[in-house]
A and B are shown apart, each in its own frame.
Chain A
Amino acid sequence: MSTLLTVENLHVSYQRAITALTGVSLSVDSGQIVAILGANGAGKTTTLRAISGFIGLDNARVTQGSIRFDGTELARRPPYQITRQGIALVPERDKVFPNLSVHENLEVVSSRSDGAERARLQDLVYTHFPRLGALKKREAGLLSGGERQMLALGSAIVCAPRLMLIDELSLGLAPVIVEEIVEHLKSIRTDLGLTILLVEQSAAVAFRLAERAFVMEHGGVVLSGSSAELESNDAVRNAYLGTGSEGRRSYRDLAMARDKELKA
């Protein structure tokens, strides 16, 4: 399997002062679903946003490091070029255009794909999320959280991506909706041959969906491995699944656990 995305030693700062990432390295093989776990403020969102491209709007900068996608260097490119290379982001907040209708949201793309391809992808979205089909004319700002997440996933899919970045897939959604979305996401992935990198607070959801996972803390990656390995890792169980024998421990322990492993 070939590597689709390689992030190496990525440093990002906000407003030239706040350092959010201090040397993140991770890689994603093509065709995989990969999850990023980590505490609030660990830098998960920043990592995804750096990959999909910053824009001058909130003064964030990649100060060091590289992001290679399918052999092309992406760091410091504007976001619209990155989308056209085949990376689509489902952001954490403000993920739809509130005053456009559902269908218009699925029309606002400017990608490599032509009109016929776009229509095919829109059909695919409506088949997998029939609820959106019923709400075509509704303003996106009036949708419920779950519908909004489906629309956000749908409009990323219409960009014809090879790599899809999803920030907080299950945040604020009822378990049944998460279940539904996860199932559809899996089958869309197979249909389109997508690679997915997602940030997920719920380790249970992440391990069920993803083949590999990275654990982030304080702006860096502290642990990585296949979902099965991480799921059986004691420190991860303690921190994320709440099932360890010693009760919940701090996230910092993850780093110690890894160091212990390395020494052993």
Chain B
Amino acid sequence: MQLVANIIVLSAIYALISCGYVLIYRVSRVLNLAHGELMMVGAYLLLMTASFTSNPMVAIPVAAILSLTMGALVYLLLMRRMTGESVLAAILTTIALGILLRGLIVIFFSAAHQYPAVPLGIHSSSVQVLPGARISSLSLILVIVTALVYASLFAFLRLSRWGLRMRAAGQNPLLAAQRGINLHGIYAMVWAIAMFTGSVAGMLISLDAGLDQTLIMIGLKAFPAALVGGLDSLLGALIGSLIVAAAEVLLIQYVNPLLADVVPFLILIVMLVVRPWGLFGTREALDRV
């Protein structure tokens, strides 16, 4: 039972992070390899707001709004210049952005392990979720948040006018523009949402476990989850996260704990060989990576 609970928590973490990869890829065909760093920046934004106020009901929403804004700015100031350039150039730009952010974080916040939960007075307690299984209260919140985020994303993409425009822009950007849609607005919005969901994940993880640059590793491990499901499918990201998390937890338990950081990428490689477009992705989607 404890194993099941652990798998659910870990897959919720991966799912909350990997939807950012999927959203950006699906709408603009860009693979955002700075997603792990952006997620870490989100967590540091919380550390920053926590130094101004000790009220988590202020600090967390303010940090979340800052991350939303910053996501849009990343597109408008940087990625916007990459439209019309090759996809490879765009991906390289995200890698460079990631490295730059790592450096800036060390300069502004130091490389030390820090705890945003302390100034906010948050103490994680342990709750019984299943018979014989306990998880931390923050993990429980994370699972609930992930469920909420996915439910709203599905509803947003299926039912709202803006969601429809996003799907259209992902399928044929030029035609979307000729239907009166401002592509830069759509892309800025999707970068903002991706950074927002990633940052929420980063904040919740760092409230539970503290914060330093190793957070990027978790962001990177969510990438195989997105790819296993198929990079352009949200449902795929959800199921891919479950698969990667289950494999990781089970192998740690029964084989060797040192495998933790290796398993997701092992799955990634197997997947790329067997079915590169993922479980739920469209086959042609990957041609454009």
Whether B83 is near chain A, meaning CB under 8 Å from some CB there, is: yes
Contacts of B182 in A (CB 8 A): 78, 80, 110
Whether A219 is near chain B, meaning CB under 8 Å from some CB there, is: no
Tell me the complex Cα distance, A143–B174, Å.
Answer: 20
Decide: B180 and A80 in contact? CB cutoff 8 A. Answer: yes
Whether B58 is near chain A, meaning CB under 8 Å from some CB there, is: no
Nearest-Cβ distance from residue A16 to partner chain B, whole angstroms: 12
| Main DSSP-derived SS at the B contact region | helix
Decide: A100 and B175 in contact? CB cutoff 8 A. Answer: no
Tell me the complex Cα distance, A79–B83, Å.
Answer: 14
Q: Which among A56, A100, A159 is the interface contact of B180 at CB below 8 angstroms?
A: A159
Decide: B174 and A110 in contact? CB cutoff 8 A. Answer: no
A-B CB contact pairs (8 Å), 21 listed: A52-B178, A55-B83, A55-B173, A55-B183, A58-B84, A59-B84, A79-B174, A79-B177, A79-B178, A83-B177, A94-B172, A94-B175, A95-B175, A96-B175, A97-B168, A97-B176, A100-B167, A100-B171, A109-B179, A110-B179, A110-B182
Decide: B171 and A53 in contact? CB cutoff 8 A. Answer: no
Q: Return the 3 tightest CB-CB contacts between A and B, nearest first.
A: A56-B84, A83-B180, A110-B180
Decide: A88 and B168 in contact? CB cutoff 8 A. Answer: no
Whether A99 is near chain B, meaning CB under 8 Å from some CB there, is: yes
Contacts of A89 in B (CB 8 A): 178
Nearest-Cβ distance from residue B225 to partner chain A, whole angstroms: 23
Whether A91 is near chain B, meaning CB under 8 Å from some CB there, is: yes
The verdict on A97 contacting B174 (CB below 8 Å), with A111-B180, A155-B179 known, is no
Decide: A80 and B165 in contact? CB cutoff 8 A. Answer: no
| Main DSSP-derived SS at the A contact region | loop
Tell me the complex Cα distance, A57–B177, Å.
Answer: 11
Tell me the complex Cα distance, A62–B175, Å.
Answer: 19
Contacts of B165 in A (CB 8 A): 108, 110
Tell me the complex Cα distance, A80–B179, Å.
Answer: 7
| Chain B, interface residues (CB within 8 Å), range | 20 to 34
Q: Give the nearest-CB partner of B175 in chain A.
A: A94
Whether B104 is near chain A, meaning CB under 8 Å from some CB there, is: no
Whether B181 is near chain A, meaning CB under 8 Å from some CB there, is: yes
Decide: B179 and A159 in contact? CB cutoff 8 A. Answer: yes
Which B residues, 161 to 213, have Cβ-Cβ distances below 8 Å to chain A? 161, 164-165, 167-168, 171-183
Tell me the complex Cα distance, A91–B83, Å.
Answer: 21
Nearest-Cβ distance from residue A61 to partner chain B, whole angstroms: 11
Decide: B175 and A104 in contact? CB cutoff 8 A. Answer: no
Looking at A84, A98, A110, the one whose CB has the most chain B CB atoms below 10 A away is: A110
Decide: B180 and A99 in contact? CB cutoff 8 A. Answer: no
Whether A107 is near chain B, meaning CB under 8 Å from some CB there, is: yes
Q: Give the nearest-CB partner of B84 in chain A.
A: A56
Decide: A84 and B180 in contact? CB cutoff 8 A. Answer: yes
Decide: B177 and A53 in contact? CB cutoff 8 A. Answer: yes
Nearest-Cβ distance from residue B281 to partner chain A, whole angstroms: 13
Contacts of B178 in A (CB 8 A): 52-53, 79-80, 83, 88-89, 91
Tell me the complex Cα distance, A79–B174, Å.
Answer: 8
Decide: A97 and B177 in contact? CB cutoff 8 A. Answer: no
Q: Give the nearest-CB partner of B282 in chain A.
A: A99
Tell me the complex Cα distance, A88–B179, Å.
Answer: 7
Q: Give the nearest-CB partner of A112 in chain B.
A: B180
Contacts of A98 in B (CB 8 A): 171
Tell me the complex Cα distance, A53–B176, Å.
Answer: 12
